[in-house]
Structure 1
């Protein structure tokens, strides 16, 4: 199966998907019959999926898709944002202590120079308080406003979301849903029932909605051309032209990212809400109880677990330890509690804060309120 063209030349298939989506949507708009809302919404959804699923593969295709979406919106869909408020709901802010960390992430009193960052501060995590307070996303183009976020996208857009609070769980899945519906659910107060957790995670929302890209100011540090750190000699910068990957993270209070490692340097900007981050150095790896890489026999016999990720073992860099659990006993995962916890650190990011950490560091995230963050991998 893996020798088929689908796997040997994935760009070919992504390009084909993009072209088919574009031509089908254009064809649906070229008709003598009146174009109703349902047809326009279907065309926009198809084009959004070409961005989300296939990356709008092909030279200039992303620009064409954005232009077609804008034309369909302006000519066939009313721009109504009734019902969405000017801010996400605020909740009483109480952070549950993180028992699995003994230290606080270092907070710098002022931003380091580029030379100082390259020479000294790029070796370990640090926080710059209020560093992004001058971003348009925190001021006059506020991401804290669902009405603004809806307006930027325009009507009919769809986005990918995770369904479930923890991607290690067997019932965790993903879906594509209406952007307006997702924002509406984030604005809905808890009703006392067990609600499904929806999380827009690790998605390049700024490429899908280009206006949002103008709302951030990428720190100069991400262009520092960093070398491979001593603890992560396999480091390579992202392979795109900018050598930069931007991802958005938007979800309600309680959404978590389990402890895992990433292969890049990370500047993590907290735009809206508060988020607690747990960190441990690569030296902790032997005591982090990571999921094992899959084998042929495990693929055949084990129940599916998204963290094991049998098609891409890179996600095996995920720990089985729930670092945010309030455990009464340390009998489970004893090496973690004995060897990692004394060195682990944590911090609760406030709106406007910027967190840095190097590649290979273990990290876990927990939203303390509705939270909107941007990670900048470089």
Structure 2
């Protein structure tokens, strides 16, 4: 359980002790010009932080009414965008890959446009699977494209909406923290102006990386929810965790009538450390690319799970190992652990069985949606 030093949306992602959450300040002049920002800020803070019943619905009703009024009256559209050089377009995010693109040595099996019946049969194998051509009907990939920055700004009230953003490469790193900023600040600071590798080959400083991670963005902003559909795979009945694996000895997770949706949006660089989930997961890539590596639950001893850390925080769902920078002296068994991997591309889904350890790194600007179900 986390106190609100970490947003409520990060339950289960691992809490870094001492992590601080800040509310972005932004430019004072921009705030003065954008008269509706303070109203949006208060409403979004209530949605993100407060625990009152129906807060999401009430907050979205009020924000929607305010946005409609502004648009109908053709009032202030929000802070002006920075001028861009001639020839630059806002049609899509820059998709430059970093220098450290992994070579895929042990690929995850891949199929195209898998039927629900075939997927149900695959569930019995207990293994991951990449599924192509399952998202072709999503508006987010076509007529309402999430790869278009201007479209996302429009859906977020000219970028006024507040979002919780992780600051740093990984929640296991020193100096990691969280900040609440406007969507426009996040886009201009992290997504439109990439963080290229420095001349000496080192990556940009992790303190500059921002990541909207495991956030219930679609409850907060339902208009984006209308751009995607829950895959039929998430309405199947998966088997329980295999006997002899860590999750098999734990109490079952609460049953949910509908899959849980989480958004993941950020530049190249942010990492989700090696960890398992207690739900079955279909990770859908909408924009950009991600590198994903998975280890079966039977490999748990070899991935060195953390224990209880200072303050009594249970971090046993997170590995001690930095997958792409392994210390063989500290973790001698890790190199013997069997794994599979992939580069997940826009339009593809990755099925992650319950209890499988997975490590994820964004290779470009990336927008993903995970669907958890049981």
2:102/2:291 contact within 8 Å kept: no
Alignment of 1:1-378 (within 5 A): 40-54=36-50, 57-59=52-54, 61-75=55-69, 78-80=76-78, 82-83=81-82, 85-92=90-97, 96-97=101-102, 103-114=106-117, 116-121=118-123, 123-155=126-158, 156-185=160-189, 186-190=191-195, 194=205, 196-230=208-242, 231=245, 232-233=247-248, 234=250, 236=252, 239-242=255-258, 244-294=259-309, 298-299=310-311, 310-311=312-313, 313=314, 315-325=315-325, 330-338=328-336, 340=337, 343-378=338-373
2:288/2:366 contact within 8 Å kept: yes
Change (3 A) 1:135 1:237: farther
Structure with max Cα Rg: 1
Given that 1:249 and 1:374 are in contact with CA atoms closer than 8 Å, whether structure 2 keeps it comes out as: yes
Q: How big is the shift at 1:103?
A: 1.9
Give distance in 2, aligned partners of 1:368 and 1:151.
Answer: 26
Gaps of 5+ in 2: 9-31, 83-88, 199-203
TM-score by length of 2: 0.78
CA offsets per residue over residues 21-70 of structure 1, 9 Å max, x none?
xxxxxxxxxxxxxxx75663222112111211236x314x4222112112
Q: More deviation in 129-138 or 196-205?
A: 129-138
Change in Cα spacing, 1:377 to 1:277, as seen in structure 2 (3 Å) is same
1:200 and 1:65 map into 2 onto residues whose CA distance is 20
TM-score after normalising by structure 1:
0.77
Taking the aligned partners of 1:94 and 1:133, their CA distance within structure 2 comes to 30
Secondary structure in 2 aligned to 1:175? strand
Q: Which structure has the highest helix share of the two?
A: 1
Of the structure 1 ranges 217-226 and 354-363, higher mean CA displacement relative to structure 2 is found in: 217-226
Determine if contact 2:34/2:76 at 8 Å carries over to the other structure: no
Pairwise CA distance, 1:85: 1.9
SS of the residue corresponding to residue 308 of structure 2 reads: coil
Change (3 A) 1:235 1:222: farther
Query: For residues 215-258 of structure 1, what are the alpha-carbon distances to aligned partners after superposition, in whole Å with 9 as ceiling and x for unaligned?
Result: 1121111111334222433474555542x110010111111111
- Alpha-carbon distance in 1 for matches of 2:174, 2:238: 38
Pair 1:65–1:113, CA change in 2 (3 A)? closer
In structure 1, list runs of 5 or more residues that go unmatched: 11-35, 300-309
> Is the contact between residue 288 and residue 346 of structure 2 (CA under 8 Å) also seen in structure 1?
yes
Offset of residue 154 of structure 1:
0.7
**Distance change in 2, residues 1:274/1:74 (3 Å):** same
Deviation per CA, 1:293-337, whole angstroms, max 9, x where unpaired?
Answer: 24xxx43xxxxxxxxxx34x2x43101111122x5x733300111
- Partners of 1:236 and 1:264 within 8 A in 2: no
- Deviation of the 1:369 alpha carbon: 0.5
Distance 1:74 1:113 in 2: 40
- Report the number of matched residues: 321
Shift, 1:117, TM fit:
2.5
Q: Distance in 1 between matches of 2:288 and 2:222?
A: 22
Q: CA RMSD in A?
A: 2.8
